């Protein structure tokens, strides 16, 4: 009997897909990367399915590539030759939602926005808010330590992760963390798994922190600027003034043009950047008025303050459609450098300079309040990989971010796309330690090989 037949027989009927055309749809994420030829795809619906798959993989020495909604932008869910894809997208149960303890226990296939909606029925919210919140899964968010639009105030996914249920490479089940808001018993294994991109184990459930939802809709503004530097300076002024926005998003001219070309938003010729900010504080209107003035002080000729929840949704919708608008223009290499907020204007100018120097189209958005920029390098559709000038521009952007005390990735993860730059940030000692951790949890190197480290 073939090894794969043993897996098919061990799982309920319909769990294992072997048709190459069907498998291909599970073998890629949202990057331009072409996958290899996987052996099969497993559509897990329970922890037992995951345990069975990993025990089989260990016995037969078969690589396993875990995946959620396939919305990743770093190649972490791209499957290689001979691998088995392990999809967690059908594990969609919210096992528990406790208003008293302000926690939820969820499976990895739960859509991020669905958890937030369930929490809001109890006056709570799930804070992590990636742009892909309507299609990305909690498991994928945990695997990459996703951030999102609200992270400037509420932090990234790790800040909401209290405990995990993880299936290890050999099929053993590990419980990490706790249900309490604090606890320091032993090493922080929960924090270790969050952001590990499926290289240490497969998350099958998570206990996450919920927060009290704001009593009133947030106050929102949108400010136009004649330059990115002025917009960056306004962000620095807002944060230095202690305004504590719940959202602070920056869109450059290239991004606005892409959106305008798609949705005709009435972009003015002199608008080179837009800053969208929000406050969900009890005095949100006063906070937004203060932020509005700081934008004017730093060169904004026009600031609009929303007067209704509908206007607010329209403004936030501009930011959420940014990546879809860019994908219409060409293939995208999406990066997410993060720098200290005080040097955000310098990083913005460095990205602009790299685009000019190498003749590359770069459209940038940013979670500006925490210094996390997403420069998107756009090149021709159908190209196997980015042309040399795109890689050269990316080299410049990453190098400058590190020189400013920043990092290669704020929330998308390393995946396959950023491995070439890892040594610039981590250094040999950190790399050796990370390889050692990988060997403890996955001694055969079967879990998402070639990713993250």
Query: What is the domain-level CATH number for residue 357?
Result: 3.30.70.2740
What is the value of pTM for the model shown?
A: 0.94
Q: Are residues 108 and 142 in the same domain?
A: yes
- Segments forming the whole domain that contains residue 182: 94-212
107: in domain: yes
Q: What is the 8-class DSSP label of residue 328? A: T
Nearest-angstrom CA–CA distance, 281 and 288: 10
Residues 176 and 234 reside in one and the same domain: no
Report the CATH number at residue 156: 3.30.465.10
Q: Which of 72, 105, 66 is nearest to 89 (CA)?
A: 66
CB atoms inside a 10 Å sphere around CB 172: 12
**82 and 152 in contact (C-beta within 8 Å)?**
no
* Alpha-carbon dihedral angle through residues 79, 450, 88, 175, given to the nearest 10 degrees: 160
Mean pLDDT across the stretch 440-453? Answer: 97
Tens digits of residue pLDDT in 310-362: 999 998 998 999 999 999 999 999 999 999 988 998 999 999 999 999 999 99
- How far apart (Å, rounded) are the C-alpha atoms in residues 165 and 331? 36
247 and 205, same structural domain?
no
% helix, strand, coil for the chain, step of 5? 40, 20, 40
The pLDDT tens digits for 35-57 are 999 999 999 999 999 999 999 99
CATH number at residue 290: 3.30.70.2190
Q: Which structure tokens are listed for 402?
A: 């590190």
pLDDT of amino acid 74: 94
Q: Are residues 199 and 282 in the same domain?
A: no
- The answer, yes or no, to whether residue 452 has pLDDT greater than 70, is yes
Q: What is the pLDDT of residue 382?
A: 83
Tell me whether residue 450 is in a domain: no
Q: What CA–CA distance (Å, rounded) separates 86 from 5?
A: 16
| Residue 194 and residue 109 in one domain | yes
Does 389 map to a domain? yes
Tell me the mean pLDDT in the region 134-150. 95
* Pick from 255, 256, 252: nearest CA to 231: 252
The answer to whether residue 384 scores a pLDDT higher than 90 is: no
Could you tell me if 110 and 192 lie in one domain? yes
How far is 8 from 196, CA to CA, in rounded Å?
A: 28
- What confidence category does residue 1 fall into, taking pLDDT thresholds of 50, 70 and 90? low
Q: Classify residue 130 by its DSSP letter.
A: -
Helix pair angle (228-240, 284-297), 10° resolution: 140
Q: End of a domain among 20, 54, 87?
A: 87
Distance CA 369, CA 275 (A): 10
Tell how far CA 414 is from the center of its chain: 11
* pLDDT > 90 in the chain, percent: 92
* 45 in the same domain as 15: yes
Residue 225, in any domain of the structure:
yes
Residues 118 and 193 placed together within one structural domain of the fold: yes
Q: What is the pLDDT of residue 262?
A: 95
Per-residue pLDDT tens digits for 395-419:
999 999 999 999 999 999 999 999 9
- The answer to the question of residue 240 being in a domain is yes
Token couple for 323: 């990546």
**What rounded mean pLDDT belongs to the chain?**
95
Q: Do residues 366 and 255 make contact, with C-beta atoms less than 8 angstroms apart? A: no
Q: Are 28 and 78 in contact (CB under 8 A)?
A: yes
Q: Is residue 431 part of a domain?
A: no
d(CA 315, CA 372): 20
Dihedral sign for Cα atoms in the order 125, 131, 137, 138: negative
Higher pLDDT, 358 or 424: 358
Stretch 7-24: mean pLDDT: 96
Secondary structure element (H or E) that encloses residue 365, with its range? strand 361-367
Could you give the percent of the chain with pLDDT greater than 70?
A: 100
Q: Are residues 116 and 198 in the same domain?
A: yes
Tens-digit pLDDT profile for residues 175-205:
999 999 889 999 999 999 999 999 999 999 9
Query: What is the arithmetic mean of pLDDT over 437-443?
Result: 98
Q: Which of 290, 325, 360 is the last residue of a domain?
A: 325
Residue 427 domain flag = no
pLDDT score of 255 more than 80: yes
Q: Please indicate, yes or no, whether residues 183 and 237 belong to a single structural domain of this protein.
A: no
**Placement of tokens 């958890």 in the chain:** 115
Q: Is residue 294 part of a domain?
A: yes
Question: How many domains does the chain divide into?
Answer: 4
Shared-domain flag, residues 31 and 17 = yes
CA nearest 395: which of 357, 434, 346? 357
> CA angle, 79 as apex, 74 and 82 as ends, to 5°?
155
State yes or no: pLDDT of 148 exceeds 70: yes
Kindly state whether residues 77 and 100 are assigned to the same domain.
no
57, 87, 117: which is the final residue of a domain? 87
Contacts of 249 (CB under 8 A, 6+ apart): 149, 275, 276, 277, 319, 365, 366, 367, 368
Tokens of 404: 């400013």
Tens of pLDDT, residues 217-242? 999 999 999 999 899 999 999 999 99
């Amino acid at each position: 009997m073939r090894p794969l037949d043993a897996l098919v027989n061990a799982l309920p009927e319909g769990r294992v897909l072997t048709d190459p055309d069907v498998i291909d749809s599970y073998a890629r994420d949202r990057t331009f990367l072409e996958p290899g030829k996987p052996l099969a795809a497993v559509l897990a619906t329970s922890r037992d399915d995951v345990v069975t798959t990993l025990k089989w993989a260990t016995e037969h020495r078969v690589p396993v590539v875990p995946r959620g909604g396939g919305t990743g932008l770093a190649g972490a869910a791209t499957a290689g030759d001979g691998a088995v894809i392990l999809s967690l997208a059908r594990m969609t149960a919210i096992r528990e939602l406790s208003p008293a303890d302000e926690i939820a226990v969820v499976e990895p296939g739960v859509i991020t926005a669905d958890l937030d909606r369930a929490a809001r029925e109890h006056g709570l919210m799930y804070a992590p808010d990636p742009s892909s919140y309507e299609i990305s899964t909690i498991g994928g968010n945990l695997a990459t330590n996703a951030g999102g639009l609200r992270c400037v105030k509420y932090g990234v996914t790790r800040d909401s992760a209290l405990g995990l249920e993880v299936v290890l490479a050999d099929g053993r089940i590990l419980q990490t963390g706790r249900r309490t808001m604090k606890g320091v018993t032993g090493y922080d294994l929960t924090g270790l798994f969050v952001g590990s991109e499926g290289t240490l184990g497969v998350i099958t459930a998570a206990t996450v922190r919920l927060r009290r939802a704001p009593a009133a809709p947030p106050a929102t503004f949108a400010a136009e600027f004649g330059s990115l530097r002025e917009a960056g300076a306004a962000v620095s002024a807002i944060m230095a003034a202690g305004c504590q926005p719940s959202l602070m998003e920056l869109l450059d001219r290239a991004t606005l043009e892409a959106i305008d070309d798609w949705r005709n938003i009435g972009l003015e010729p002199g608008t080179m950047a837009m800053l969208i900010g929000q406050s969900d504080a009890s005095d949100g209107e006063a906070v937004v008025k203060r932020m509005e003035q700081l934008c004017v002080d730093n060169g904004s000729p026009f600031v609009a303050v929303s007067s209704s929840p509908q206007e607010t949704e329209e403004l936030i919708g501009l930011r959420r459609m940014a990546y879809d608008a860019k994908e219409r223009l060409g293939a995208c290499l999406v990066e997410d450098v993060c720098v200290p907020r005080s040097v955000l204007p310098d990083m913005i100018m460095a990205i602009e300079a790299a685009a000019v120097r190498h003749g590359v189209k770069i459209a940038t958005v940013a979670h500006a309040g925490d210094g996390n920029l997403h420069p998107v390098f756009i090149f021709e559709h159908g190209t196997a990989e980015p042309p040399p000038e795109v890689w050269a521009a990316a080299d410049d952007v990453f190098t400058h971010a590190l020189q400013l005390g920043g990092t290669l990735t704020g929330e998308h993860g390393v995946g396959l796309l950023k491995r070439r730059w890892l040594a610039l940030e981590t250094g040999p000692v950190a790399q050796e330690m990370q390889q050692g951790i990988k060997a403890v949890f996955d001694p055969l190197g079967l879990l998402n090989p070639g990713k993250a480290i």
